[in-house]
């Protein structure tokens, strides 16, 4: 490597984005269910219980939209436009029996996450897929997940607004080992490059960047006086399986995910398979 390349590498390593803390509050929540009457009220009580433990929920007003007030996703979007809530809280597979299977969130939820900028708090279906009744706990163990944690200040700030005061925010980053191995295989075919050295250096750099960002986030959060512990969770593996293992190991109460993608209208990269798979866990979809 010549001196110019070496200088550029050092410079680029030193110019990583730093986390900026921004306090967020939730003042209005629209609760949506396909239930009516007592069943709708029971679901609303679950939502209010979960929201009640969140740090950013201050003097929250809630409005309950029961199942007889809408049918299509368009009906729901019109109700949202009238209410303009800070958060929409709902469950999977509105007005659908698809909750019996493990392949979908339902058309209403798909549209909500992509056609609006309003965060969606997604709870397990009232007829919980495991056959056991789901009950809300606190939000003192939250995990924020993204394909690229570096630069995701909005995601982290949203997760902090949901965290119970004094709780733990797990900032996670999992590098896809299959993709990594594919590139190492390509590198191995270039005689001028030491494959094992490339493997070691690339792996270290891929994991160093999110680790540095998480440290900056922890420092900024502590400096702001936020009542939260920040714990880094960084690894390599098959992403969906690895995240499921991490969520179970750390007893996560709420998962926070980005769902928007600039390049297409479908739900963002890793978010959809995780949202479909993790049916027993509340999700905040941004």
Domains observed in the chain: 19-285 (3.40.50.620)
The helix/strand/coil state of 146 is: coil
CA separation, residue 178 to residues 39, 190, 237, 239 (Å)? 45, 20, 8, 9
Query: What is the pLDDT, as a whole number, of residue 3?
Result: 42
Residue 235 backbone phi and psi in degrees, to 5: -160, 180
Tokens of 61: 């007003």
- Cβ–Cβ under 8 Å, residues 213 and 19: yes
The helix/strand/coil state of 124 is: coil
Tokens of 149: 């944690």
**pLDDT digit string (tens) for the chain, length 286 residues:** 444 454 344 434 444 567 889 999 999 999 999 999 999 999 999 999 999 889 878 789 999 999 999 999 999 999 999 999 999 999 999 999 888 887 889 999 999 998 999 999 999 998 864 445 567 778 999 999 876 665 589 999 999 999 999 999 999 999 999 999 999 999 999 999 999 999 999 999 999 988 998 999 999 999 999 999 999 999 999 888 999 999 999 999 999 998 876 665 556 668 888 999 898 899 999 9
Burial of 24 (0-12, 13-18, 19+ CB in 10 A): middle
The helix/strand/coil state of 195 is: helix
Sign, CA torsion 102/120/286/223: negative
User: pLDDT for 34-48, tens place per residue?
Assistant: 999 999 999 999 999
Query: What is the pLDDT, as a whole number, of residue 136?
Result: 75
Helices first, then strands: H and E counts in the chain: 9, 9
Sign, CA torsion 285/85/116/72: positive
């Amino acid at each position: 490597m010549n001196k110019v390349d070496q200088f550029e590498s050092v410079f680029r390593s030193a110019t990583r984005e730093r986390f900026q803390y921004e306090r967020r509050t939730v003042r209005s929540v629209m609760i949506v269910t396909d239930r009516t009457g007592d069943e709708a009220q029971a679901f609303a009580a679950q939502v209010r219980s979960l929201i009640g433990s969140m740090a950013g929920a201050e003097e929250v007003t809630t409005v309950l939209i029961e199942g007889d007030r809408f049918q299509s996703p368009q009906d729901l979007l019109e109700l949202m436009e009238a209410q303009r809530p800070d958060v929409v809280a709902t469950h999977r597979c509105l007005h659908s029996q698809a909750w019996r299977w493990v392949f979908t969130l339902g058309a209403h939820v798909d549209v909500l996450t992509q056609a609006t900028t309003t965060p969606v708090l997604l709870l397990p279906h009232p007829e919980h897929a495991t056959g056991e009744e789901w009950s809300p706990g606190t939000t003192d163990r939250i995990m924020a997940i993204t394909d690229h944690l570096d630069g995701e200040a909005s995601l982290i700030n949203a997760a902090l607004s949901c965290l119970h005061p004094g709780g733990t925010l797990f900032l996670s980053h999992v590098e896809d080992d299959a993709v990594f191995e594919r590139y190492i295989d390509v590198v191995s075919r270039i005689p001028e490059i030491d494959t094992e050295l490339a493997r070691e250096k690339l792996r270290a750099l891929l994991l160093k960047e999110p680790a540095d960002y998480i440290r900056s986030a922890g420092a900024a959060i502590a400096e702001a006086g936020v009542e939260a512990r920040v714990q880094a969770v960084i690894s390599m593996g098959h992403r969906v399986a690895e995240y499921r293992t991490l969520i179970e190991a750390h007893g996560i109460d709420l998962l926070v995910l980005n769902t928007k993608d600039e390049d297409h209208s479908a739900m963002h990269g890793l978010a959809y398979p995780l949202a479909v798979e993790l049916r027993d866990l509340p999700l905040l979809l941004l």
